[in-house]
Amino acid sequence: MPIKQQENHMLAKQWLNNTREVMDNIENTQMDAIQKAAEIMADTIEAERWVHTFGCGHATLPIEEMYPRIGGFVGFHPMIELPLTFFTRITGEMGVRQFVFLERVEGYGNEIMKSYDFDKRDTMWLISHSGINNVNIDVALEARKQGMKVIVMGSAEAFSDKESRHSSGKKIFDLADVVIDSCVPAVDASVELKNHKDKIGPVSTMAFVSIVWMTITTVAEILADRGVKLYIHPSHNVPGDTTARERLDEALSEYKRRIAGV
């Protein structure tokens, strides 16, 4: 193998090793928190209520991974505020600068919460790497005010010495019933690059998605043990499964029924 190619592979392997280390840390330190969070979510879903999921920016990626998704099931309600996630135009309309400004605007989260109907049996699952920005904190405070349990996933230990941007002085980790630490360094990017100050290769998304499925599979296990029927999204792209579309329709119909409050 040419030396140049070997050097390129070194950074790829470094990022992979960094990601593995984060996942190992999650397994070694967060299983109890995942179990506690899953039990709260299972109670909510068994009551035919909602685990509401909220995040900003790239923290919406694990939300999109939860539901609707092959292998996901009814009970998780994505709350994705478009101006806080759709910045793929980069500049111009709904660009990165607007997003960075908006996620720090105190009071915006309160207005978002007014658009939904909540119940004390609901759970709010908040995802934020830093936990210091105002929109997420607004949502957490309002969720607690309405009597919901609050589950937070983020880099809690790495940001333990950082100050909140919110007037309450609270970070979302301070407002949680359960915190699942993503075990990601504060800077997120994990690979040093020669001749550059900033690192490349963030690992928070991989950590978030890993925790999402570790938690959701635990929720499913708890509910299955209780005898609760889950409305699971099947794979509808595998030839030969003649009832996949029927099961998909059943899941979507159940979601529609519950979201309508029937």
Q: What are phi and psi of 149, to 5 degrees?
A: -75, 145
Concatenated DSSP letters of 79-115: E--GGGT--TT-SSTT-HHHHHHHTT-TTHHHHHHTT
Under DSSP, the state recorded for 235 is: -
The CA distance from 208 to 11, in Å, is 22
Percent of the chain at pLDDT > 70 equals 97
Kindly state the helix (H) or strand (E) to which residue 254 belongs, with its residue range.
Answer: helix 244-259
Distance of CA 19 to the CA centre of its chain: 17
Provide the CA 22 distance to its chain's centre, in angstroms.
16
Chain segment 24-71, per-residue pLDDT in tens: 999 999 999 999 999 999 999 999 999 999 999 999 999 999 999 999
Task: Decide if pLDDT at 6 tops 60.
Answer: no
Of 153-162, 182-191, 238-247, which gets the smallest average pLDDT?
238-247
Least confident of 142-146, 190-194, 237-241: 237-241
pLDDT tens-place string over residues 131-146? 999 999 999 999 999 9
Write the DSSP string, 2-40.
-HHHHHHHHHHHHHHHHHHHHHHHHHHHSHHHHHHHHHH
Q: For residue range 145-183, what is the model confidence (pLDDT) as tens digits?
A: 999 999 999 999 999 999 999 999 999 999 999 999 999
Cα–Cα distance, 134 to 105 (Å, whole number) = 6
pLDDT at 228: 98
The pairing of strands 200-202 and 51-55 is unpaired
Residue range 185-201: average pLDDT? 97
Assess whether pLDDT exceeds 80 at residue 4.
Answer: no
Handedness of CA 118, 123, 128, 132 (dihedral sign): positive
Whether the pLDDT of residue 7 is over 70: the answer is: no
List the beta bridge partners of residue 181: 154
Question: At 93, is the pLDDT very low, low, confident or very high (cuts 50, 70, 90)?
Answer: confident
Question: Using 50, 70 and 90 to split pLDDT, how confident is the model at 207?
Answer: very high
Nearest CA-CA partner of 141 in 126, 128, 153: 126
Tokens 């759709």 correspond to what residue?
86
* Tens-digit pLDDT profile for residues 98-126: 999 999 999 999 999 999 999 999 999 99
pLDDT of residue 262: 60
Residue closest to 211 by CA, chosen among 61, 44, 92: 61
Q: Residue 8 above 90 pLDDT? A: no
**How much is the mean pLDDT over the chain?**
94
